[in-house]
Amino acid sequence: MQKTIYLDNAATTAVRPEVLDAMMPFFTEWYGNPSSVHEFGALCNVACDKAREQVAKVINADPKDIYFTSGGTESDNWALKSAALAKKEKGKHIITTKIEHHAVMETCEFLERQGYEVTYLDVDDQGLVDPGALEKAIRPDTIIISVMYANNEIGTVQPIREIGRIARSHGILFHTDAVQAFGHIPIDVNEDNIDLMSASGHKIHGPKGVGFLYMKKGVKLPPFMNGGHHERGRRAGTLNVPGIVGMGKAAEIASGEMSKNAKHLSGLRDRLISGLSEAIPYTKLNGHPTKRLPGNVNMSFRFVEGESLLMLVDEKGVSASTGSACASGSLDPSHVLLAIGLPHEIAHGSLRFSLSEENTEEEMDYTVKVVKEVVERLRSMSPLYEDMLNGVA
Ligand code: PLP
């Protein structure tokens, strides 16, 4: 049996047919610029405002506080760089964590080169930030706290409400990168005390290249993109109308199906976790056992190398992902896996399987079978594994 099973939905998802249907007329028929005053423009403007309402509803936000962007990366850059610029008279200290996505991490590193100071908080061995440690890290010159809602590699969901409460009680801006959480788990920007939140369309069966930044009323950050009066003067650039319409539709569907999908996905997730753990010795689940995204499985397989495992399971029709090589192609292990305390060699032998509601129990069982076969094959060639069996290691 040779199938192709896509288990890399944290990287990106398939656009749903309903989403594509909603987008198509904005390429071919109603291709106006929403800034134009004629009917074409007005129609597009109305469509973007509808999308604004659709995404706002998912997080209990006022639609006026939604600013469309080109995706999660831009939203993260905007939030952090503009907050740093706007608050530099108050201070130059930023608090974030050691497990953020590169879009936050590298923006913080950029700001360090501009003279800002960044505290990168540790996480525990399941990837959780300690709110007490976060509060202790706050200084009089702290201007922004950025903690991701849920981790893209290990799926751990942070105590965001508590972190937001701490930030607010100290009068510090709170940003969360919710790219992996939006549309998958409930978010309420008011209850969660969120000032700034990044989200992206392509993680929820919407199109790539579109996202938004939620900016709470009263939080007046300067624009990141200059050049026009779009998005109420906060984000210049002609609106990506089909993308925005698609993201709105995808958000509406994701929200309507959230509890049904979460139930289905967490069932599949737990089946895959227990299947792999039972079938293959010397495996470890990474991330929190319960405070984790419904569709995330991240496992380490000792005595194997993640890249080889990834390629060999791909040959057998299972598309997963490894955090062990960063985008630059270097073989540094994932900063997230190191932050939860995995030794380099175990971090290197890790795979992430990120599921979608399209996946089935049969696919999970097939994945277990394939991963078991490949791990056994790779271990049979590993001198370290042999040493361990012979009691040398
Ligand atoms: N933040 C997180 C947590 C992500 O997982 C991603 C994408 O993988 C991004 C930000 C970047 O989002 P985008 O691809 O929309 O730029």
Report the pLDDT value the prediction gives residue 220, as an integer from 0 to 100.
86
**Using 50, 70 and 90 to split pLDDT, how confident is the model at 247?**
very high
* Burial state string for 240-260 with b = 16 or more CB within 10 A and e = fewer than 16: bbbbbbbbbbbbbbbbeebee
pLDDT at 328 over 90: no
- Cα-to-centroid distance, 148 and ligand 1 (Å): 11
Which class would CATH give 5-12+258-389? alpha beta
Report the pLDDT value the prediction gives residue 327, as an integer from 0 to 100.
44
Structure tokens, 160:
């965001």
Shortest-distance Cα residue to atom 14 of ligand 1 = 72
Question: Any idea where the domains of the chain sit in the sequence?
Answer: 5-12+258-389, 17-254
Report the pLDDT value the prediction gives residue 2, as an integer from 0 to 100.
61
Residue with tokens 């939203």: 75
* Count helices and strands in the chain by DSSP H and E runs: 15, 12
- Cα-to-centroid distance, 361 and ligand 1 (Å): 28
- Cα-to-centroid distance, 10 and ligand 1 (Å): 9
pLDDT at 1 over 70: no
User: pLDDT tens across 22-74, in order?
Assistant: 999 999 999 999 999 998 999 999 999 999 999 999 999 999 999 999 999 99
pLDDT at 386 over 70: yes
pLDDT at 325 over 70: no
| Rounded-to-integer distance, Cα 10 and Cα 390, Å | 39
| Rounded-to-integer distance, Cα 143 and Cα 96, Å | 11
Q: What is the mean pLDDT of residues 359-380?
A: 97
Report the pLDDT value the prediction gives residue 298, as an integer from 0 to 100.
98
- As a whole-number percent, the residues of the chain with pLDDT over 70 amount to 97
Ordered DSSP codes for 218-271 = T--PPPSS-SS-HHHHTS-S---HHHHHHHHHHHHHHHHTHHHHHHHHHHHHHH
**Using 50, 70 and 90 to split pLDDT, how confident is the model at 324?**
low
Instruction: Please give the CATH number for the structural domain made up of 17-254.
Output: 3.40.640.10
Using an 8 Å Cβ cutoff, are 297 and 283 in contact?
Answer: no
CA angle 146/148/153 to nearest 5° reads 140
Residues touching ligand 1 (Cβ under 6 Å) are 71-73, 76, 101, 103, 148, 152, 177, 179-180, 200, 211
Element (H, E) at 280: none
Report the pLDDT value the prediction gives residue 393, as an integer from 0 to 100.
60
Report the pLDDT value the prediction gives residue 326, as an integer from 0 to 100.
45
pLDDT at 330 over 60: no
User: pLDDT tens across 305-318, in order?
Assistant: 999 999 999 999 99
Determine the atom of ligand 1 nearest the C-alpha atom of 208: 15
Report the pLDDT value the prediction gives residue 313, as an integer from 0 to 100.
97
Report the pLDDT value the prediction gives residue 391, as an integer from 0 to 100.
86
Q: What is the mean pLDDT of residues 206-214?
A: 98
Determine the atom of ligand 1 nearest the C-alpha atom of 71: 15
User: pLDDT tens across 248-293, in order?
Assistant: 999 999 999 999 999 999 999 999 999 999 999 999 999 999 999 9
**What is the average pLDDT score of the chain?**
95
pLDDT at 242 over 60: yes
Determine the atom of ligand 1 nearest the C-alpha atom of 202: 15
| Backbone torsions φ then ψ of 239, nearest 5 degrees | -65, 140
Active site residue 326: yes
Report the pLDDT value the prediction gives residue 176, as an integer from 0 to 100.
98
| Rounded-to-integer distance, Cα 81 and Cα 114, Å | 10
Q: What is the mean pLDDT of residues 112-125?
A: 98
Record the pTM: 0.96
Shortest-distance Cα residue to atom 10 of ligand 1 = 72
Among 44, 48, 108, 326, which one carries the catalytic annotation? 326
